[in-house]
Structure 1
Amino acid sequence: MQERVLKVLEFTKVREQLLEHAASPLGKERIINLVPSTDFTEVVKLQAETDEAATVFRIKGNIPLSGIHDIRPHIKRSVIGGVLSPHELMQIASTIHASRQMKRFLEEIDEERTEIPILKEQVDQIIPLTNLEQDIKQAIDESGEVLDGASELLRSLRQQLRSNEARVREKLESMIRSSNAGKMLSDAIITIRNDRFVIPVKQEYRSHYGGIIHDQSASGQTLFIEPQVIVQLNNQLQDIRVKEQLEIERILTELSANAAEYESELQIIVKVMANLDFVFAKARYGKKIKAAMPAMNNEGRITLFKARHPLIPMDEVVANDIMLGQDYTTIVITGPNTGGKTVTLKTLGLCSLMAQAGLQVPAQDGSELAVFDSVYADIGDEQSIEQSLSTFSSHMVNIVEILNRVGYNSLVLFDELGAGTDPQEGAALAISILDEVHRIGARVVATTHYPELKAYGYNREGVLNASVEFDVETLSPTYKLLLGVPGRSNAFEISKRLGLNEKVISNARSHVSEDTNQIDKMIASLEESKRQAEIEQQEARDFLKQAEKLHKDLQKQMIEFYEKKDSMLEKAAEKAEEIVDEAKKEAEHVIRDLRKMRTDKVAEIKEHELIDAKRRLEKAAPEVTKSAKLVDKKNKKQKYMPGDEVKVLSFDQKGTLVDRVSDDEWQVQIGILKMKVKEKDMEYLGAPAAVKETRPLAIVKGSDSHVKLELDLRGERYEDALLKVEKYIDDALLASYPRVSIIHGKGTGALRQGVQEYLKNHRSVKKIRFGDAGEGGTGVTVVEFK
């Protein structure tokens, strides 16, 4: 990719924003050097890697990336025999610790069955250098000071050092507290010069203390003297300090040599941690701009749903659908200036570059992008003053270079193609350039304000006209891209809105050819048709989604019904078996008693004893109580009529009879569904209200015929949402639904908490729970009724 193209399409600005999310110099270095890849396999892996990081970030929220340093120079110096400073050694220990933390963190996530194979493969390369880390931390503290416990000799030397310093201070303290010290000393303090303890003595009393003069004040009135009595003690201190420094050098040399032994392991740690910091920075940036992972292909197909320019604030940017490379390979966008054509061009180019760099793109899920060998862009006024080039010449230099390099697997973006010269010649050049690039087979998007190019898409296969929408009512662009609709001039409408005399406008229209007027009318009709088609398409999508949801819910309820039915039958069978077993035991007991009576009394068994035994046998037989409804159904077959309300037993749902299909089958309306149901699967509930009672009744609106099985509250205000929940629960209860779903989204959790508090206190609610993974997770509350 050309660096000029990365700058023109503002990929460099995306890198600058990405830098804010890196946690270490290693990650920032990777971001600074980030360029889009042209290898399809590599791009797919980069996207999968970023998606895994986004998954981890979504699950855990915080990633242990602190304490990472660029220790490559330290490793290099240690390998060639250099002695590392305590601070450098601590950076090595800190980086080892960070790598161990990250390895354990990702291994725990992997154990939780979250699929992160690429990240897991990377941390598996890390060898935890626990011994080296502990050796360094036992010798050096966090501030970079070598600890007394680094060696026994160092501990002993520092004890001697503290003891001798105490003796020196004691002697000097006695001097400055003596009776004549006040007149001989400039100040009663002990200070240090040249690593030796001294006292400030006035010039005229220098001979009183003897010893060595180490320094004097700026005025020369004060001399910093090491008294003769402590010269020997100071000499001993210096000797201990030299030994201490030698021991510290020995410890640092040993630790540096240890680090050098693990050169390859440390280099792997640096490489892995640099990449992980880089990958998680991409994931954080994707979350910030609300990006999604695009599917990648190497066939030149681009499908972007609600794509946004990542550098425009989200409350200002207009999202657009962009499709290219399947039914058509060239798009010509026409329309007025400042209408959003250039932003659309940059959005497409920047999303392509971001995707090939492994970044998620600011578009909805389901978007798809291609991996191009090269991306070319001629955008903006890039005239060169040094070369004395005009706007047209500057554009033409870029276009010539593009035509010399463009290939089949290229993406080419032209902004205001042919501008800066005579309109007729510019339009002709634009058409010729587009023909050439289209012939080569590259994917092309060009913007222009030449009216001659409006007909370009109609005359050539694989070319599509497009435009940016303009609202004549507000006299401002909407920045919405209209694929398949060429741009039209709004000069007359704008002039009329601004108050230009109608006579002047009519006169102007007369100077425009009839063909142009008809083209404008056709374009206006296309715009309206496309707008209407988009509305109807969205309505169809919503209805299809509702139908699929209802179908899924009914299937789930059927499964639950049959599972419950089987469970109840199994329990009933077990209970019946227990009753029969009890009856058998009782019968055996009675028979045993009769035999005993016969044996004991032979023919003396009296009538009342036989009657009592018979009664016991009758009691042992299990009693089966039949439902009155079942008895009634056996004795009398119900006569059904259209409009009757029935209960469909297999679905446990109310319905209304529509029409008889056969002798034992009816068409039944259940909610928005109509289905065929056999009479044996129906239970009669009653006749229609008009038949049952002729006097007027209060009709409760909200029957199951139009109540959905879910309520979507996303985007609602808190108070409005609770009112909707209250009404929806009443309607669902009237519809006899056993359960419903309320979609409140995840967000801050305030709406979810409010909804669940209301449901917990509702007298008809049996149980509430969050949706399963396939039902929307914590963004959905499932309500079961009593």
Structure 2
Amino acid sequence: MNKHYRTLELDRVLEMLAEQATCAASKELALRLEPCDNYRDAADALQRTADINTLTNRYGTPGLGGIQDCTGALQRAKLGSRLSAGEILQVARVLHTIRAIKKWRGQGETATAADDLFHVLAPVEGLEKDIFDAILSEEEIADTASPTLNDLRRRIRKAQLKVREQLDGIIHSPQYAKALQEPIITMRDGRFVVPVKIECKNEVKGLVHDTSSSGATVFIEPMAVVDANNEIRMLQNEEQLEIDRILQEFSERIGQVADATRTSFEALLQLDLLFAKSRLADKMKATVPELNEDGIIDFRKARHPLINKDKVVPVDIRLGDGFDTLVITGPNTGGKTVALKTLGLLTLMAACGMMLPVATGSRAAVFTHVLADIGDEQSIEQSLSTFSSHIVKIIEILKIADTKSLVLTDELGAGTDPTEGAALAVSIITALRQRGVRLAATTHYAEVKMYALQTDGVENGCCEFDVATLSPTYRLLIGVPGRSNAFAISRRLGLPEEIIEEAKSMVSSENTRFEDVVSELESTRQQLENEVTAAETARSEADRLRAEMKKQTEAHEAALEKLETEARDNARALVERTRSRTDLLLNELEELKKQKDKADFSEKVAAMRQGYNRRIEELRDTADPVKKEKAEEYHLPRALQVGDTVTVAAINRQGTVIAGPDKSGAYQVQLGNMKMKCDPSELRLPEDAPKPPKKKQTPTGGTRTTRPNNTEREARTELDIRGMASDEGLMEVDRFLDRCMMMGIKNVTIIHGKGTGVLRAAVQQHLRRLSFVKSQRPGMYGEGEMGVTVVELK
């Protein structure tokens, strides 16, 4: 890496970036990242990062699952070589990641600057699925990888069972009880043997395959099982040949898509680098600066990315807009060098396409060269002092610098006689400005401050220092020359006053006047800053009150709207009740007309008139907008049923429930010839209303436990068997799948974790034997990836 970039600590920022990458190949890309030296490339790189950051903030950041570099395997497959099971699985994982990233991008429809990388991703879903179905791990091929392999393994298991039965008869035979070290069957060199005591080895006829480390036991293959063991060995050889054929077939299929997969893999690495930039940006709370090629820098609230975020003090740095040279002064440890490095490092980060830890609205420039003379590189071997090392760097910078260069120098002209050093510093600044560079330099020389005040295009800046506390504030103030605080600090620390006064008398009158002017400027600046702060506080308070008043107004408007809505609803309800009661009165009149010839007609007319007057009064009370009716609280003693006799409280009439409840909870009540829709709160059950029939008791008289139906059961679609042994996990899987079949669930997820892969392999192999399993696949991004198996039931 360029030594100037190392001086500004770009390498440490790239190490932070590499930590955010998810695979080794993309980490290496991050460490080798170089700043762009032209505007177009830098702007494109920054726009890609910004677009990816927008996508990840909206849809989450996808992981690449720790994929490994498979380009070597792809090349060998293309040339016809047979890949190992592990290499084929690596390719399958890359294909899985390609498909997952492609699917992730499909969530967003807005075009981005990184879409060219997404477009070259070429999933090969069929090959990916076939590999995962056939290869369970680097050491295990599934029985279902081919019909031939399945048949061979079935025959091997059958032959092994036959041998075990024969050996089981031998180890449990009284004839060999004394000869055996212990009654067990073991294996040596892939053949079944029994452990025999060394002194009894002639009593068991067979082939000796091994001896124990103590020499007390020999492992003998009885003659009775030699042929069977030979058969097993031959079948195992055929099995290996079939496995080799399967691997060769997969290798050929991979070779056919090797070029497209390699291109997709390279695009994946670039995307992972962009995801890493996005993660780092979120971690730094970074924003996207506005890039330009005019050499204008305006960093607002800039934070050095390598300083602890709880300790770093944001600074505002400007350069190139109105002035091309910034001279920064201030006390030692006041933050001058940090401001200088922040300016250079953020410029390099922007050229690398990284978002910056600055406030919104900041601007960054793209330079062909970023040159830095920061730090002391004394060398005894090369006879270089502090001054000499700085001059050597300046000479190198003068050879390279041009109009597209940013030059940063720390303590320019230091390490020699102050008078000569100041003159040399002014001359170097002048020479660099003649080359058209953007220059930021730190100094303690008053002559350089005067040069900045008297020269167009050169601006003073200082790092603020609080004399009262003898500590720097680390704020960078542009447009204000730094003041020497030596006398004030000495007085604060207790140096005798007579010494300080004598020192002051030795300072030239010009320097004294200059310091007085700077002091007055600083006092005026602080006063104006306090006034601005007070004005900002007042404006913030006014904005807060304005927002509070707006919020209250909106609340009042909402309350008024609610009252209007309630009034409309009440009016609508009043109209409905009036219509219902009017219909009831009309029905009673019709009934009364039919009975006019009866003897008690007069009495009925009087009762009718009395009821009419009472209902008119009720309607008048209901329509009164001022009077509020305090309804008696009433709760139905039980749920209403069709056929119940109820009283409609509003009209004090009895009727029969004929339907309900509907979606709104209302019931339909038959009142004579009229039907009325009522809310349950308007209905009353008579005290002598019959209770709902009790549930029949079981014949035994005991408590009957009802089995919950399918809708009452918990419809679980996931099963977590992490941490279980294979046998225990498979039993849980069977119970879970039986329950899902009974409940009609078609898609379920089994969580077995990643781990060593043994539990996953057992589950997936077991699922292939189940007739009611339609398909299975590893989880995709967002589902758990290789830690889960998604099952579809028939």
TM-score range, shorter chain: 0.5 to 0.7
Q: Secondary structure at the match of 2:108?
A: helix
Shift of 1:93: 1.4
State the number of aligned residues: 559
CA offset digits 1:291-330 (Å, max 9, x no partner): 1111100010000001110110111111111000111111
1:390 aligns with 2:385: yes
Structure 1 stretch displaced more, 370-379 or 423-432 = 423-432
Distance in structure 2 (CA, Å) of the matches to 1:144 and 1:89: 12
Which of 137, 153, 158 does residue 163 from structure 1 map onto? Answer: 158
Q: Secondary structure at the match of 2:477?
A: strand
CA offset digits 1:351-403 (Å, max 9, x no partner): 00100001111110100010000101111112234434222222222111111
Aligned partner of 2:331: which letter?
A: P
Q: Secondary structure at the match of 1:118?
A: coil
Name the counterpart of 1:24: 23
Q: Secondary structure at the match of 2:328?
A: strand
**Unaligned residue ranges in structure 2 (runs of 5+):** 565-794
1:262 aligns with 2:261: no
Which of 449, 454, 477 does residue 454 from structure 1 map onto? Answer: 449
Q: Secondary structure at the match of 1:408?
A: coil
Aligned partner of 1:496: which letter?
A: R
1:200-219 alignment, distance < 5 Å: 200-219=195-214
CA offset digits 1:537-591 (Å, max 9, x no partner): 5666788899999999999999xx9xx9xxx9xxxxxxxxxxxxxxxxxxxxxxx
Name the counterpart of 2:35: 36
Name the counterpart of 2:49: 50
1:479 aligns with 2:446: no
Are 2:85 and 2:137, in contact at CA under 8 Å, matched by a contact in 1?
no
Shift of 1:118: 2.0
Distance in structure 2 (CA, Å) of the matches to 1:533 and 1:260: 73
1:364-443 alignment, distance < 5 Å: 364-443=359-438
Aligned partner of 2:132: which letter?
A: K
Which of 482, 494, 505 does residue 500 from structure 2 map onto? Answer: 505
TM-score, structure 2 as length reference: 0.67
Are 2:422 and 2:448, in contact at CA under 8 Å, matched by a contact in 1?
yes
Which of 515, 519, 523 does residue 520 from structure 1 map onto? Answer: 515
Shift of 1:500: 2.4
Are 1:107 and 1:120, in contact at CA under 8 Å, matched by a contact in 2?
no
1:536-685 alignment, distance < 5 Å: 536=531
Distance in structure 2 (CA, Å) of the matches to 1:42 and 1:540: 43
Are 1:67 and 1:98, in contact at CA under 8 Å, matched by a contact in 2?
no
Give the direction of change, closer, same or farther, for the CA distance of 1:76–1:386 in structure 2 (3 Å limit).
Answer: farther
Aligned partner of 1:163: which letter?
A: K
Which of 133, 137, 145 does residue 140 from structure 2 map onto? Answer: 145
CA offset digits 1:98-136 (Å, max 9, x no partner): 2212111121122xxxx3422334212222211111121
Aligned partner of 2:72: which letter?
A: P
Name the counterpart of 1:106: 105
Distance in structure 2 (CA, Å) of the matches to 1:269 and 1:303: 39
Name the counterpart of 2:778: none
Distance in structure 2 (CA, Å) of the matches to 1:472 and 1:553: 41
Name the counterpart of 2:626: none
Identity over aligned pairs, percent: 44
1:228-247 alignment, distance < 5 Å: 228-247=223-242
Aligned partner of 1:83: which letter?
A: R
Shift of 1:39: 2.1
Distance in structure 2 (CA, Å) of the matches to 1:322 and 1:516: 28
Q: Secondary structure at the match of 1:214?
A: strand
Are 1:456 and 1:465, in contact at CA under 8 Å, matched by a contact in 2?
no
Are 2:39 and 2:292, in contact at CA under 8 Å, matched by a contact in 1?
yes
Distance in structure 1 (CA, Å) of the matches to 2:112 and 2:540: 33
Give the direction of change, closer, same or farther, for the CA distance of 1:251–1:100 in structure 2 (3 Å limit).
Answer: same
Shift of 1:338: 1.0
Shift of 1:484: 1.3
Shift of 1:168: 1.3
CA offset digits 1:490-529 (Å, max 9, x no partner): 1211122122232332222222222222211211222233
CA offset digits 1:10-52 (Å, max 9, x no partner): 1111111112211122321221211111121111111111111
Distance in structure 2 (CA, Å) of the matches to 1:144 and 1:93: 15
Name the counterpart of 1:631: none
Name the counterpart of 1:15: 14
Aligned partner of 1:221: which letter?
A: A
Name the counterpart of 1:491: 486
Name the counterpart of 2:88: 89
Give the direction of change, closer, same or farther, for the CA distance of 1:67–1:141 in structure 2 (3 Å limit).
Answer: farther
Give the direction of change, closer, same or farther, for the CA distance of 1:541–1:124 in structure 2 (3 Å limit).
Answer: farther
Name the counterpart of 1:66: 65
**Could you say what the CA RMSD is over the residues aligned between the two structures, in angstroms?**
2.8
Are 1:68 and 1:273, in contact at CA under 8 Å, matched by a contact in 2?
no
Distance in structure 2 (CA, Å) of the matches to 1:500 and 1:171: 104
Give the direction of change, closer, same or farther, for the CA distance of 1:444–1:526 in structure 2 (3 Å limit).
Answer: same
Distance in structure 2 (CA, Å) of the matches to 1:154 and 1:456: 88
CA offset digits 1:140-162 (Å, max 9, x no partner): 12565211111000000000111
Distance in structure 2 (CA, Å) of the matches to 1:116 and 1:354: 25
Aligned partner of 2:107: which letter?
A: E
1:128 aligns with 2:123: yes
1:529-540 alignment, distance < 5 Å: 529-536=524-531
Give the direction of change, closer, same or farther, for the CA distance of 1:234–1:537 in structure 2 (3 Å limit).
Answer: same
Which of 216, 223, 227 does residue 218 from structure 2 map onto? Answer: 223
Aligned partner of 1:441: which letter?
A: G
Are 2:176 and 2:204, in contact at CA under 8 Å, matched by a contact in 1?
no
Are 2:22 and 2:63, in contact at CA under 8 Å, matched by a contact in 1?
no
Are 1:67 and 1:95, in contact at CA under 8 Å, matched by a contact in 2?
no
Aligned partner of 1:27: which letter?
A: S
Are 2:300 and 2:362, in contact at CA under 8 Å, matched by a contact in 1?
yes
Aligned partner of 1:263: which letter?
A: A
Shift of 1:444: 0.6
Distance in structure 2 (CA, Å) of the matches to 1:530 and 1:307: 22
1:329 aligns with 2:328: no
